[in-house]
Amino acid sequence: MAAFTTDKIRNVVLVGHSGSGKTTFAETMLYEAQAVSRRGAVGDSNTQSDYTALEQQRGHSLFASVLHCNWKDNKINILDTPGLDDFAGEVVTALKVADTAVMLLNARSGVEVGTELIWEYIEDFDTPTIFVINQLDHEKSDFEMTLDQTIKRFGNRVLPLQFPVNQGPGFNAIVDALRMVMYVFPPEGGKPDKQPIPAEHKGRADEMHNALVEAAAENDEALMEKYFDAGTLDEEDLARGLSIGMTHRQFFPVFCASGLQDMGSGRIMGFIHDICPSPADRPPAELEGGATKPCDASARPCVFIFKTVNEPKVGNVSYFKVYSGVLKAGDELTNADNGTVERFSQLFESEGKNRDAVEAFRAGDIGCTVKLKGSHTNQTLNPKGADLKIRRIRFPSPRIRMAVVPPSKSEVEKMAHALHSIREEDPTLLVEQSIELKQTIIEGQGEMHLEIVKYKAEQNFGVHLETAEPRIPYRETITREANKDYRHKKQSGGAGQFAEVHMRIEPYYEGMPAPHGLNAKNTEVEDLKWGGKFSFVWAIVGGVIDSRFINAIKKGIMSKMEEGPSTGSYCRDIRVSIYDGKMHPVDSND
């Protein structure tokens, strides 16, 4: 099959609070597009998205998965994401390469905490968004409450295109105010029957339709003139105005659906096809350094890896978006971050765990490959001589940390390898071998996130990780002034070693006066990498110690500050003044 041209590609990410029905909706989209012959169910552990054993065991998504289907003459890439905040990194990853976000709302719960958190990420990426009020077949569904909360929280750019006629058990009818018809679905869902809007719903439908026409006209001067002249817009002009509004985030349409009953998803896919932006319609991609890169298939290839998955018996599967040019099977590109030359021997379209080989991807498309040698998430590849770097994904900061230890000392290296490999596919995981605490510390988004890290280490690398509380990184300082002198003398034939230093040690604070009773010739204040400050004062008079020994003395003091006398912790906020001492013309050296 020939690669889809950029204007025929739609990249869509499904987002929403946990339990809003994203995976079921993705399954229904694939079924509507005849990409699968039967719909899987989360409860039956057979959906295309949740294909890992852990997701099937827990009954919800833990990782972003990449799917695709054809709708009319378009290719729709679908990224299904987890709703739990512990896996926000998966949402950010998918939003990076999506051109439209489909925010699913649970009709029972309205706007939830996860909805608001995800919206912040959507705003960061400036992603055009569709709202879908889902699960309208549930007995506790409340469309009006959910719509009202959505408008109040996300503003008057939220415009409903539809409303349900009979929500709750028996739900089967939706009024579409854009097309001004009522869709009535058969009991098994699927393709609806188009019927006239009943008289009792006509007034609301007309009001919503007029609001949509006004919103479309506001996005283009020519359309605004037509609207003023004719009082309305024809179907073609209405579609054009709404498309402009979607692309520039001037309005956020609201749809009705029951993903579980396959009611409403086909209409939404038609809207994605007709109205939502292609990759070429979106602003040029930002590059590191501030420049931009248009999505242009005629340019040289530029490929960005947005996700890496380590699969047993396969190795790393690298998911990428082609930001420009055409990527063909067999092409060689150079990693702009580390110079590794990578051969894309095979290219695949992804359907969850299943992959279909293809010959090429054009600009804007999403695919995957296997067995790249040295390229991972957040890295860009170009033809030789180009060094473009797509702006890296900024992942959320960790919110929880724990120490991990292997069952035995013999498995320390094995543990380090496992954590390094997991980190390559999960950039929200931070791993630190703390010299200070003498522990391996892992940091992540939440307890469940770190549980998944432990699971991967055991299942994929055979390392059972035991957990412990991270030790507290204590700091030491001094509370009062003290004077100390030290003589070092060593003679063993030939040139010996000799040094004598007199120093004053005292607590340091910002703006403190010069050392009393001393002639301070030079003062240095250093920010310590472990926090706090160190002030070093050179107050030697009469040349009793040569200034060439300043760095050696300072280095010696700093080394002792790395292991304090009380707990062995780092020392901070100390001033040391060197005011006297002795040296030997032969035996003193640094």
Q: Tell me, what CATH number does 483's domain have?
A: 3.30.230.10
C-alpha distance across the termini of the chain, in Å: 73
Report strand pairing: 285-286 vs 173-176. unpaired
The Cα 89–Cα 64 span in angstroms is 9
Structure-block tokens of residue 144: 């009006």
Say what the pLDDT of residue 202 is.
97
Helix ranges (H only) for 33-112 are 53-58, 88-97
Do 330 and 453 lie in one domain? The reply is: no
Report strand pairing: 574-582 vs 533-538. parallel
pTM of the model: 0.86
User: For residue 293, which of 278, 279, 309, 307 has the smallest C-alpha distance?
Assistant: 279
User: For residue 472, which of 571, 567, 574, 408 has the smallest C-alpha distance?
Assistant: 567
Q: Tell me, what CATH number does 363's domain have?
A: 2.40.30.10
**Whole domain around residue 346: which residue ranges?**
285-382
Q: 550 and 540 in contact (C-beta within 8 Å)? A: no
The Cα 15–Cα 22 span in angstroms is 7
The verdict on residue 232 lying in a domain is yes
Which residues, in sequence order, are bridge partners of residue 434? Answer: 439
The Cα 76–Cα 448 span in angstroms is 31
Chain position carrying tokens 């020519």: 222
Of 281, 306, 340, which closes a domain?
281
Say what the pLDDT of residue 64 is.
96
Q: Tell me, what CATH number does 132's domain have?
A: 3.40.50.300
Angle between helices 199-217 and 221-230 (to 10 degrees): 140
Do 213 and 132 lie in one domain? The reply is: yes
Of 444, 468, 492, which closes a domain?
468
Q: Is 494 exposed, middle or buried (0-12, 13-18, 19+ CB in 10 A)?
A: exposed
The Cα 74–Cα 190 span in angstroms is 20
Which DSSP letter does residue 154 get? H
The Cα 395–Cα 20 span in angstroms is 23
Do 13 and 42 lie in one domain? The reply is: yes
Structure-block tokens of residue 376: 């991972």
CA angle 290, 296, 298 (to 5 degrees): 130
The Cα 94–Cα 437 span in angstroms is 36
Say what the pLDDT of residue 2 is.
66
Q: 64 and 90 in contact (C-beta within 8 Å)? A: yes
Which residues, in sequence order, are bridge partners of residue 132? Answer: 104, 255
Say what the pLDDT of residue 456 is.
92
The verdict on residue 389 lying in a domain is no
Which residues, in sequence order, are bridge partners of residue 367? Answer: 320
Q: Is 366 exposed, middle or buried (0-12, 13-18, 19+ CB in 10 A)?
A: buried
The Cα 329–Cα 37 span in angstroms is 29
Of 281, 297, 332, which closes a domain?
281
Do 125 and 21 lie in one domain? The reply is: yes
The Cα 192–Cα 32 span in angstroms is 12
Per-residue pLDDT of the chain (590 residues; tens, 9 = 90+): 568 999 999 999 999 999 999 999 999 999 999 999 999 999 899 999 998 888 998 988 999 999 999 999 999 999 999 999 999 999 999 999 999 999 999 999 999 999 999 999 999 999 999 999 999 999 999 999 999 999 999 999 999 999 999 999 999 999 999 999 999 999 999 999 999 999 999 999 999 999 999 999 998 888 998 888 888 888 899 999 999 999 999 999 999 999 999 999 999 999 999 999 999 999 999 999 999 999 999 999 999 999 999 888 888 999 999 999 999 999 999 999 999 999 999 999 999 989 999 999 999 999 999 999 999 999 999 999 999 999 999 999 999 999 999 988 889 999 999 999 999 999 999 999 988 888 999 999 999 999 999 999 998 899 999 999 999 889 999 999 999 998 988 877 667 888 899 999 999 999 999 999 999 999 999 999 999 999 999 999 888 999 889 999 999 999 999 989 998 899 999 999 999 999 888 777 77
Q: 274 and 203 in contact (C-beta within 8 Å)? A: no
CA 434 to chain centroid: 26
The Cα 301–Cα 296 span in angstroms is 9
CA 256 to chain centroid: 28
The verdict on residue 106 lying in a domain is yes
Length in residues, the chain: 590
What is the side-by-side order of every strand in the sheet holding 400-405? 430-434, 439-444, 400-405, 466-468
Q: Tell me, what CATH number does 458's domain have?
A: 3.30.70.870
Q: 377 and 97 in contact (C-beta within 8 Å)? A: no
Do 455 and 484 lie in one domain? The reply is: no
Say what the pLDDT of residue 493 is.
67
The verdict on residue 306 lying in a domain is yes
The Cα 352–Cα 347 span in angstroms is 15
Structure-block tokens of residue 124: 């960061």
The Cα 111–Cα 104 span in angstroms is 10
Helix (H, G, I), strand (E, B) or coil at 215: helix
Do 419 and 371 lie in one domain? The reply is: no
Do 113 and 145 lie in one domain? The reply is: yes
Q: Is 346 exposed, middle or buried (0-12, 13-18, 19+ CB in 10 A)?
A: middle
Say what the pLDDT of residue 1 is.
55
The verdict on residue 555 lying in a domain is yes
The verdict on residue 300 lying in a domain is yes
Which DSSP letter does residue 110 get? B
The verdict on residue 22 lying in a domain is yes
Structure-block tokens of residue 483: 């004077």
The Cα 26–Cα 160 span in angstroms is 22
Which DSSP letter does residue 278 get? P
Say what the pLDDT of residue 532 is.
96
The verdict on residue 387 lying in a domain is no
CA angle 41, 45, 47 (to 5 degrees): 55
Structure-block tokens of residue 209: 């339709």
The Cα 349–Cα 357 span in angstroms is 6
Do 77 and 43 lie in one domain? The reply is: yes
Do 129 and 209 lie in one domain? The reply is: yes
Question: How many domains, the chain?
Answer: 4
Do 431 and 456 lie in one domain? The reply is: yes
Do 20 and 80 lie in one domain? The reply is: yes
Do 346 and 263 lie in one domain? The reply is: no
